[in-house]
Amino acid sequence: MSYQLKQANISLNKKPGFVALVISTMGLTLGALLCVLTLGYVLLYKPLPYPDQERLMVVDHAFIDQTRNGQPGKVMFKAFTYPALMALQNEPTAFLETAFISRKQGVLTNHSALPTVEATYVTPDWFTLLNIPMKFGRAFTPSESIDSYNPVAVISHKSWQNEFAATPDILEEKVEFGGVSFKIVGVTAPDFVEPQVYRVRRQTQLWLPWDFDPLNEADRKNWGRIFGARMVGKLANGVTPRQAEQVITPIVNNQWQAAMAGNPQNAGRSIRLELRSFESVILGDSAQVIYLLLASVFGLIVIATTNIANLFMSRTAQKQRALSIQAALGAKKRHLFQALLAESALAMFYSLLLALMVSSVGFWLLQQYLHTLLPRIEEVSLNAFTLGAALVIGSLIALLLARLGAASINYKALNTTLQSSGKGTGVQVSKRLRQVLMVCQVAVATVLIFVNIGLFKAAIQSINTPMGFEAKNVHSLTLASASATLPPANDALPVIEQIKQTLTALPQIASVSHTSSPLDTFGTWMPGLSTVGGNEKIRAEYKVVDEQYFQLIKQSKLAGEFFSSQEVRDKKSVMIVNESFAQLFSVNPTKPIDFLGKKLVFRGDKAFTVIGVVKGIEVPGKTKAMPRVYVIKRPSGPERTRNRLAFTIKTKDNQSVSRQQLVEAIKGVSSQFTANQWMSLVENRHQMLFTQYTWAITTAVLTLLTIILAGIGLYGIISYAVQMRKFELGTRMAVGAKRADLIRLIITDNVGSMLLGVLISVITLIGLFAASGNELQLNITSMVMIFILTFGVISLVSLSACYLPLRGFINRPAMFSLRNND
Amino acid sequence: MSNAVITMRNISKIFETEALQTHALNGVDLTINQGDYVSISGPSGSGKSTLLSLLGLLDFPTSGDYFIEGLDVTKLSLDEAAEIRNVKIGFVFQSFNLIDDLTVFDNVALPMRYYDKKPTANQIKQRVNECLAMVGITPRVSHYPNQLSGGQQQRIAIARALIAKPAILLVDEPTGNLDSKSADQVMDVLGELNHQGTTICMVTHDPRYADMAKTKLCLLDGTFLKLPSNKEIA
């Protein structure tokens, strides 16, 4: 074989163009495949880097309404209550270990730069469950267990480097967060990979003991929902997740039922605890992304391999004289196959070297640009799996290429080749094989182009959807408390109002609204709003706004009025609704004025009077405008300071304000609060549309690659066929065929294969849509339009592939085609 | 009024590569009249095939003037040349140039498929049968070329060349790939066609068959040598 490899190397060196085409085509596509395969391996199969990771579970606390909408057992929402967490503490049957976690974003108030950090409150078991390695100091120990109130902190390695300049004396430092000073007792090791149980790429910078979670005493005692708190645990030996659910659900549900006894609102409701594996929580819906990417790159590989197979077979045909001489000298079929295999193996080896480089670049790009979209990206790198996959795929393709090349050799006919001056038919790619290659190319390319255009269209549609308000110069600001617990609303709101006045007075600022950003999450009223005396409950999102809000963001008014300063001061029970909400009450969309004056109630409390109807806003990435209402005050319950810490601020044209300037301005009013997060809505919108941008770019690149590869492939196949028919074409020209006649001839000969390819793709697409339930959310018109576009692209590519190889013959005198043949 | 089918004046053809210029034809003058039977012979590389390809508008001269039935065909576009080939010129090649995937019938009918005014199926059938009858191949219309002998294939090629009732039949080494019996049969067919009025210009190496022509021309290094005509010899 070494002789064959040496000869193959010499032979390939003589064809640098052929080698470059093979290596670039296969290197790029295999590189993409290895990159996505490795990503898929890490996300779907590679065990999490924690001990007994398969037994690590996240517990969901679901409120069940047994009777809701006639659907027994429907989950109303999922959120823990504090008493439920405490009831499960040290549960001995289902779990070996449990830990509680909750999160908070805030400011390190003793740090000169006042950085905003992500903090996670944890019980000590969090460190042992994950076996978190430490660079310095220690993790939390039983000295930080619940109710110990020991103010210590562990910081991440990255935070140590960024916020503390990697000082070696870090264990001498303290951090002040949420009004409490914590002594740093440890720094996590740089190789610790944090499980992203909240959202992709949320990286904790500061771990604090669970006791310091800013829940006040009342919150800790009542059964109210505490969003953001999680329970995680390691299942006891031999216990399945379902068995664990059956053990822990009654513990919580019985206590909750007892506590809620006599409360008619909770009749028919219950608590159910549900376990999800760490893996599935961290993976989220990323599997769909992976499968889609895998399908796309596999499609590209099929097209690329078809192209290269055709190239190899054409090359084998070109080498028939050399093969004939070898056969004449005693080479058996096996020897010829070995020669072909050596050549294809060598070409694939070089391609794989390029592929590994391409995949490395791909890993870097993934880590740079997709880290907010996909979990565990930092674990994606060249590894044994990548190398193994490269070896297997490369070997299979090399074998396939050699096999196809060998199949095109007519060993018996080779001997006559020498007698006919090398013009024999010892090596020919059969017409049938060429047709199969063409059908394959067209079918795969059509499917890929259709799906990618569909995804591209959906992404572009989301990106281009107007938000329904003006984001230019508009920013969101959230305040952080400098104390451990937030002051009560009665004390805090006057201070916050002063802060608003101070910010308004800044020369760069045009307007301030004491309202959270329109891109922030809206609240939800449950069970919903109804007309006075009506039974039907309409669920709607709500936002508490002030008189500046609508004018500041320039949200369009369809009817009525915005809130006046007087109404805000008097906290009037008035309401502004968006058109989606009005339409739920059967209001004529062209006459929203009909909805004015309508009175709506929530849980029988005092009615809100609708005084205005506004056009809906579209939150980027959401599919439709939600029914929403805007009020001056919450419909029930006491005002809470934590709900009033956000501002929407508009700066003057060509003016900017830094977070540091805001910090200074707020410091002049009160030391109770500081600026937490300051972000422009334009930037916020871009962040929210990150997934759509990513998909738009990815699908555009995949579509282009598919078109280019399919174009090259079809050109290669038809070019070979035209080359084989050069003599026939010359003869036809000799008897009077014009250029148009010959173009028509080649198109007619290939149109059947192309249409068959398209037909197969249509069947495949129908199958895919049936199986996936129209994940692309395309209506029939869009599907037809996209299909017409796809068909147009494929037709254009195919027709070009028919015409281009012909140019060399039909644009020259007929003698050119006949020369050397007669 | 002249009855010249072919008139060439001072025709030259130069093939150029980066390193080399080859003068294939040097100032050739040639006139072929209606009903002529001209043979062109000469050693390899003398320019016979080049001349035939220019005569058949398969290639274009580097310089000179060329007329077919008085029409200047020196500077035609590719498609215009194709149309002239289609209706005024019939080709017979040494290696037959039949298309393997087409039946005998379809091979013969091929030029009619390229007429500007498409003939009906009946017209095609009638004309194909006439031409096949002229070369004696009628019963084998549904066969494919590779099912026939070399002589039969060449006679089909002649039938195809006759299909458009061309002004001239250009024949390139018609017996080069045939055994002597088949070659004689083919030459008999050509003789008979000329006898019926078909103008023929034939390139051949074989002096026996060259002698069958009324006018014998010999090319050497791209120019004609003057030879006595059969009439003059007689």
- Residue among A732, A738, A813 whose CB faces B58 most closely: A813
Identify the residue among B22, B25, B59 best suited for mutation to test binding to A, counting A beta carbons within 10 A and taking the highest: B59
Residue A478 included in any domain: no
- Give pLDDT, residue B1: 44
CA distance linking residue A685 with residue B40, whole number of Å: 84
- Give pLDDT, residue B194: 92
- Residue among A728, A733, A815 whose CB faces B82 most closely: A733
Confidence of residue B226 (pLDDT cuts 50, 70, 90): low
Asked if pLDDT for residue A244 goes beyond 80, the answer is yes
Indicate whether A102 and A43 sit together in one domain: no
Q: What percent of chain A has pLDDT over 90?
A: 36
Mean pLDDT of chain B: 88
Q: Give the residue from A624, A640, A671 where a domain finishes.
A: A671
CA distance linking residue A146 with residue B37, whole number of Å: 117
- The shortest C-alpha distance from A383 to chain B (Å) reads 53
Q: Using alpha carbons, list the distances in angstroms from residue B145 to A82, A727, B141, B148.
A: 91, 15, 10, 5
- Residue among B94, B97, B111 whose CB faces A736 most closely: B111
Domain count, chain B: 1
- Give pLDDT, residue A355: 95
Task: Report angle CA A769, A772, A778 to the nearest 5 degrees.
Answer: 55
Indicate whether A637 and A721 sit together in one domain: no
Residue A273 included in any domain: no
Confidence of residue B2 (pLDDT cuts 50, 70, 90): low
Task: Report angle CA B170, B176, B182 to the nearest 5 degrees.
Answer: 95
Closest among A177, A209, A35 to A110, alpha carbons compared: A177
- Give pLDDT, residue A307: 83
Helices and strands (H, E) in chain A, number of each type: 25, 24
Determine contact: A142 vs chain B, CB below 8 A: no
Confidence of residue A802 (pLDDT cuts 50, 70, 90): confident
- Give pLDDT, residue A422: 42
Peptide bond into A527 cis (omega under 30): yes
The DSSP output letter for B145 is G
User: In chain B, which residues touch A (CB < 8 A)?
Assistant: 53, 56-60, 78-79, 81-83, 85-87, 91, 93-95, 97-99, 110-111, 113-115, 160, 164, 172
Indicate whether A451 and A504 sit together in one domain: no
* Greater pLDDT, A14 or A508: A508
**Tokens coding A263:** 């409360």
Please give the radius of gyration of chain B, using alpha carbons only, rounded to the nearest integer. Answer: 18
CATH at residue B15: 3.40.50.300
Asked if pLDDT for residue B228 goes beyond 60, the answer is no
**Residue A209 near residue A151 (C-beta atoms within 8 A):** yes
* Count of other CB atoms within 10 angstroms of residue A322: 12
- The shortest C-alpha distance from A729 to chain B (Å) reads 9
**Residue B128 near residue B142 (C-beta atoms within 8 A):** no
Q: Whole domain around residue A254: which residue ranges?
A: 67-267
Identify the residue among B57, B107, B162, B163 best suited for mutation to test binding to A, counting A beta carbons within 10 A and taking the highest: B57
Asked if pLDDT for residue A748 goes beyond 60, the answer is yes
Q: Which residues in A335-371 are b (16+ Cβ under 10 Å) and which e?
A: ebbbbbbbbbbbbbebbbebbbebbbebbeebeeebe
Closest among B126, B94, B95 to B108, alpha carbons compared: B126
Closest among A171, A164, A176, A79 to A119, alpha carbons compared: A176
**Residue A794 near residue A758 (C-beta atoms within 8 A):** yes
Indicate whether A368 and A515 sit together in one domain: no
Indicate whether A512 and A632 sit together in one domain: yes
CA distance linking residue B169 with residue B92, whole number of Å: 7
Confidence of residue B234 (pLDDT cuts 50, 70, 90): very low
Asked if pLDDT for residue A604 goes beyond 80, the answer is no
**Which chain B residues are Cβ-neighbours of A724 within 8 angstroms?**
none
Taking residues B208-222, report their average pLDDT.
90
- Residue among A736, A740, A821 whose CB faces B86 most closely: A736
Asked if pLDDT for residue A762 goes beyond 50, the answer is yes
Q: Do B78 and A741 touch (CB under 8 A)?
A: no
pLDDT tens digits for range A78-119: 888 888 888 888 777 889 989 999 988 888 888 888 888 999
**Which chain B residues are Cβ-neighbours of A822 within 8 angstroms?**
93-95, 97, 172
- Residue among B58, B78, B164 whose CB faces A734 most closely: B58
Asked if pLDDT for residue A163 goes beyond 80, the answer is yes
**Which chain A residues are Cβ-neighbours of B79 within 8 angstroms?**
738-740
Residue A472 included in any domain: no
Confidence of residue A416 (pLDDT cuts 50, 70, 90): low
Indicate whether A458 and A494 sit together in one domain: no
Tokens 């498929």 -> residue: B113
Domain count, chain A: 4
Q: Do A818 and B95 touch (CB under 8 A)?
A: no
Residue A474 included in any domain: no
In 3-state terms, what secondary structure has residue A143? helix
Closest among B170, B159, B229, B227 to B203, alpha carbons compared: B170
Indicate whether A401 and A504 sit together in one domain: no
Indicate whether A487 and A624 sit together in one domain: yes
Please give the radius of gyration of chain A, using alpha carbons only, rounded to the nearest integer. Answer: 34
Q: What percent of chain A has pLDDT over 70?
A: 93
CA distance linking residue A419 with residue A625, whole number of Å: 78
Give the residues across from B9 on adjacent strands. B65
Give the residues across from A578 on adjacent strands. A614
Indicate whether A654 and A543 sit together in one domain: yes
Q: What are phi and psi of A757, to 5 degrees?
A: -60, -45
**Tokens coding A681:** 């809505």
Residue A330 included in any domain: yes
- Residue among A741, A813, A822 whose CB faces B94 most closely: A822
CA distance linking residue A723 with residue A414, whole number of Å: 20
Tokens 């290269």 -> residue: A308
Asked if pLDDT for residue A341 goes beyond 70, the answer is yes
Q: Using alpha carbons, list the distances in angstroms from residue A277 to A240, A305, A626, B150.
A: 11, 39, 32, 79
- Give pLDDT, residue A538: 79
CA distance linking residue A356 with residue A773, whole number of Å: 36
Q: Give the H/E segment covering residue A247.
A: helix A241-260
Let me know if A394 is exposed, middle or buried by CB neighbors in 10 A (0-12, 13-18, 19+).
Answer: buried
**Which chain B residues are Cβ-neighbours of A737 within 8 angstroms?**
82, 86, 114
Confidence of residue B121 (pLDDT cuts 50, 70, 90): very high
Q: Using alpha carbons, list the distances in angstroms from residue A596 to A268, A346, A664, B203.
A: 36, 77, 44, 101
Quick one: CA torsion of A26, A27, A30, A33, rounded to 10 degrees? -130
Look up the ipTM and state it.
0.85
- The shortest C-alpha distance from A288 to chain B (Å) reads 49
Q: Do A735 and B114 touch (CB under 8 A)?
A: yes
- Give pLDDT, residue A37: 93
- The shortest C-alpha distance from A746 to chain B (Å) reads 14
Confidence of residue A429 (pLDDT cuts 50, 70, 90): low
Taking residues A778-785, report their average pLDDT.
79
- Give pLDDT, residue A71: 57
Strands B63-68 and B4-16: antiparallel
Asked if pLDDT for residue B231 goes beyond 60, the answer is no
Q: Whole domain around residue B40: which residue ranges?
A: 4-233
Q: What percent of chain B has pLDDT over 90?
A: 47
- Give pLDDT, residue A800: 86
- Per DSSP, helices labelled H in A263-319 are 278-283, 286-318
- Give pLDDT, residue B18: 73
Asked if pLDDT for residue A531 goes beyond 60, the answer is yes
* Greater pLDDT, A484 or A630: A630
Determine contact: A811 vs chain B, CB below 8 A: yes
Residue A278 included in any domain: no
pLDDT tens digits for range A462-505: 888 888 899 999 999 999 887 767 788 888 889 999 999 999 99
Identify the residue among B48, B68, B83, B86 best suited for mutation to test binding to A, counting A beta carbons within 10 A and taking the highest: B86
Indicate whether A570 and A701 sit together in one domain: no
In one-letter notation, the amino acid at residue A237 is N
- The shortest C-alpha distance from B152 to chain A (Å) reads 18
**Which chain B residues are Cβ-neighbours of A731 within 8 angstroms?**
93, 97-99
Q: Do A732 and B91 touch (CB under 8 A)?
A: no
Mean pLDDT of chain A: 85
- Give pLDDT, residue A822: 36
pLDDT tens digits for range B17-69: 777 888 999 999 999 999 999 999 998 888 998 999 999 999 999 999 999 99
Q: Give the residue from A248, A267, A286 where a domain finishes.
A: A267
Let me know if A166 is exposed, middle or buried by CB neighbors in 10 A (0-12, 13-18, 19+).
Answer: exposed
Q: Do A810 and B78 touch (CB under 8 A)?
A: yes
Determine contact: A721 vs chain B, CB below 8 A: no
Residue A679 included in any domain: no
Confidence of residue A601 (pLDDT cuts 50, 70, 90): confident
Q: Nearest-CA residue of chain B relative to A813?
A: B59
Confidence of residue A759 (pLDDT cuts 50, 70, 90): very high
Spatial strand order in the sheet of B89-92: B89-92, B168-172, B200-203, B37-41, B215-220, B223-225
- Residue among A741, A811, A814 whose CB faces B58 most closely: A814
Residue A261 included in any domain: yes
Indicate whether A576 and A696 sit together in one domain: no
**Which chain A residues are Cβ-neighbours of B95 within 8 angstroms?**
821-822
Q: Do A815 and B59 touch (CB under 8 A)?
A: yes
pLDDT tens digits for range B152-170: 999 999 999 999 899 999 9
Identify the residue among A725, A735, A742 best suited for mutation to test binding to B, counting B beta carbons within 10 A and taking the highest: A735
Taking residues A708-731, report their average pLDDT.
84
- Give pLDDT, residue A353: 95
Which region among A272-276, A600-604, A788-792, B6-10 has the lowest average model confidence (pLDDT)?
A600-604
Indicate whether A108 and A223 sit together in one domain: yes
By 3-state DSSP, what share of chain B in percent is helix, strand and coil, each rounded to 5?
Answer: 35, 25, 35
Q: Nearest-CA residue of chain A relative to B83?
A: A736
CA distance linking residue A141 with residue A555, whole number of Å: 52
Q: Give the H/E segment covering residue A230.
A: strand A230-235
Helices and strands (H, E) in chain B, number of each type: 8, 10
